[in-house]
Structure 1
Amino acid sequence: MLEIDALSIQLGEFSFTDLNLNVKEGEYCIILGPTGAGKTILLETIAGIHYPKSGRILLNGKDITNTPPESRGIGMVYQDYMLFPHMTVAENIGFGLKERGVPKPERDAAVQKIAATFGISHLLERHPKTLSGGEQQRTAIARSLLLRPSVLLLDEPLSALDTITRERLRDELKAIHKETGMTILHITHHFEDIYALADRVVVMRDGGIVQEGTPDMIMRHPVSNFIANFTGMDNIFTGNAVITQAGIVEIHMGTMIVRAVTELTGRVHAGIRSEDMIISSEPFTSSAQNSFTGIVTQIIDIGAYSKIVVDTGLILTAVLTRQSIQRLGITVGTSVWITFKATSVHVFRE
């Protein structure tokens, strides 16, 4: 539905070259990447704010590379919402329809309808500066959706909100996507957005796409050390992989050996997500092929959960609830067992 074909652009010192991306109709695509990766520039180029040096942007098979922004049928919502401060909420929402020459009665009816959908009917006569962050965000999204864009571009739309408001608006975005079937590209830094919203995730770095796939593929099967670190994979090691049987290797890391399911051999990286680790006070009976004993060296509070750092010869990090920590009697200095499956070990080369 949206095709980015060999796109190249130069803006000051930043550039990307021969960038390719295909987004299916109705897909919710989340774009990840560190600051400076080019995420916002990509969205702005799709929207028509920047024009590329070369390459094409196709929407439903039509080349829109040089089409003016207002004629592309693409909506964009920024992190800071970009509402007109001198206009009321109703005037902000209806601005695009007014520019299109839609008669006032028809425009007002459309504004009332979408305001009711977003629960902001009572705010229509107020001005943006009197609104909360969540109310401004609802207004900005309503303004974009009222124009019925083919594609909605969201540039970190939830980042400036408190946790409760962010969760509520995330649910609203999910409901809007389900109801409308709209194609959405959404830049975020919040990994919870990925599992809650995304059909597909695209990871960018230095103006290029370095991996794309389902949320589970990106989070559990990174193709490089950069992506493993960026997505919060706590346990990343380097070792020498030797085949012991078909599809099973032993990865030698100094005096430690970790078993994994892979065809790769030789010098490799191995990553295990902390949530795939099982901690017990005694040896854990299971089919898991990796089990080590060690000493707890750190307990790091991360809200409802805590990271447990265990020195087994390898420094391994697991995640437990506070209740589990109390039930197991875990403190710094406690001896524990840490267990994980061979299938939980993701093996890759840089």
Structure 2
Amino acid sequence: MPAPALEHKEAMRMIHIENLCNTWGDTFSLEDISLDVKDGEYFVILGPTGAGKTLLLELIAGIHSPERGRIMIDGEDKTSRPPERRNIGFMYQDYSLFPHMDAKGNIEFGMRVRGIDHDERARRLGELVELFAISPLLSRDVTTLSGGEQQKVAMARALACYPKVLLLDEPFSALDERTKSRLIHEMKALHHQQRLTVVHVTHSQEEALRLADRIAVMMDGRIVQVGTPTEIFSHPATMDIADFVKVENIWAARVKECTHDTLTLDLYGHEVRMARPEQFDCTEREVRLLIRPEDIVVGSGNRTSARNRFHGMIMKVEQRGFYHVVRIDCGFPIVTVVTKNSVEELRLREGASVDIFFKTTALHVVSV
């Protein structure tokens, strides 16, 4: 009976990377990269500049050959196959449009190289023009297009030959914030409509949060955590990841009691309770306690659903976009975010006394 389950698992994943290693220059290497990307998944590789994200993408595309490891795409071993035999669409950060061709020529280029006949090229071009609403751009010199227009043409070119996988290398990094926000929305709609398998490389946490089904965090040539956006941003596996995803509330704490489902911790003389993580070792004593600002409630009175309640004084209230950041001294520093309406209704101001609440399930603990 195990064979059908294995076949089902193979059918579910579009990309399987196994123990991939590659040296780049004298100082950098990818080390034992193993990943699975599901069919139809929007998978984001998130990490700082220099982590090896683009190199990994180029290995998947076949632009470079790995020194060791295996790359499977749709159940076939593509490790030694050239890029044109991997059925992959690739869009670089700078879009890499051919400046001597108009937009139409750029979109049709891959189809011409593959020998697709005129009628099929015309039909596919029509589909892509409608999909990206780029009819007015077809005869334009690509050097005269805006960043957003260039991206649409580059995306149409990447999709022209019906790739099974679309690889995106920092696709929004060169765009202004307004254009970026609009195109992220359009990318999400495109993925939903086409059910593409997408691997998207970025250093932007906003892009990862808005687009990803799952995220792989990459640092120094290694994959250090894979999970949903909630798992990555609320439950980072290490302090390096917590720092990278900008968890603002990180406290040194000591374990007082550990049961099968609850941890009780001492936090600067205050008792804090949290749900015990499944893999937590009860012999640990010194830990780091993490909670995201949006998981902290500011108010007054009793909150029976929140086991952890503290009283403090507001040290600072500052506007950050549509929200306000409130910094509170509860005997330890706490940062939370609230809406403008909450600031007004609760009369949150510097020097005011407040109660703060957070649930046992909102906390996360990291070993040190």
Q: Does 1:277 align with 2:296?
A: yes
2:153 aligns to what?
139
Q: Does 1:347 align with 2:360?
A: no
2:311 aligns to what?
293
Find the aligned partners of 2:38 and 2:166 in 1 and give their Cα distance: 13
1:320 aligns to what?
338
2:72 aligns to what?
58
Q: Does 1:7 align with 2:20?
A: yes
The answer to whether the 8 A contact 2:87-2:165 is kept is: yes
| Runs of 4+ with deviation above 6 angstroms | none
The answer to whether the 8 A contact 1:200-1:213 is kept is: yes
After superposition, the CA RMSD in angstroms is: 1.7
Find the aligned partners of 2:336 and 2:44 in 1 and give their Cα distance: 27
How much does 1:90 deviate?
Answer: 0.6
Q: Deviations over 1:273-306 (max 9, x none)?
A: 10011112x3343321111111222223221112
How much does 1:191 deviate?
Answer: 2.9
How much does 1:4 deviate?
Answer: 1.0
Equivalent residue runs for 1:6-155 within 5 Å: 6-12=19-25, 13-155=27-169
The answer to whether the 8 A contact 1:284-1:337 is kept is: no
The answer to whether the 8 A contact 1:2-1:23 is kept is: yes
How much does 1:175 deviate?
Answer: 2.3
- Report the TM-score, using the length of structure 1 for normalisation: 0.94
The answer to whether the 8 A contact 1:256-1:314 is kept is: no
Find the aligned partners of 1:160 and 1:333 in 2 and give their Cα distance: 42
Q: Greater shift after overlay, 309-318 or 68-77?
A: 68-77
Letter in 1 for 2:24: L
How much does 1:10 deviate?
Answer: 0.5
How much does 1:246 deviate?
Answer: 4.5
Secondary structure of the residue that 1:347 maps to in structure 2?
strand
Q: Greater shift after overlay, 325-334 or 72-81?
A: 325-334
Give the share of equivalent positions with the same residue, in percent: 44
The alpha-carbon distance between structure 1 residues 274 and 100, as it changes in their structure 2 partners (threshold 3 A), is same
Equivalent residue runs for 1:150-165 within 5 Å: 150-165=164-179
- Report the TM-score, using the length of structure 2 for normalisation: 0.90
Find the aligned partners of 1:128 and 1:52 in 2 and give their Cα distance: 34
2:5 aligns to what?
none
**How many residue pairs align between the two structures?**
349
The answer to whether the 8 A contact 1:279-1:338 is kept is: yes
Q: Which runs of 5 or more residues in structure 2 are unaligned?
A: 1-13
Q: Greater shift after overlay, 265-274 or 105-114?
A: 105-114
The alpha-carbon distance between structure 1 residues 178 and 244, as it changes in their structure 2 partners (threshold 3 A), is closer
1:203 aligns to what?
217
Q: Does 1:223 align with 2:241?
A: no
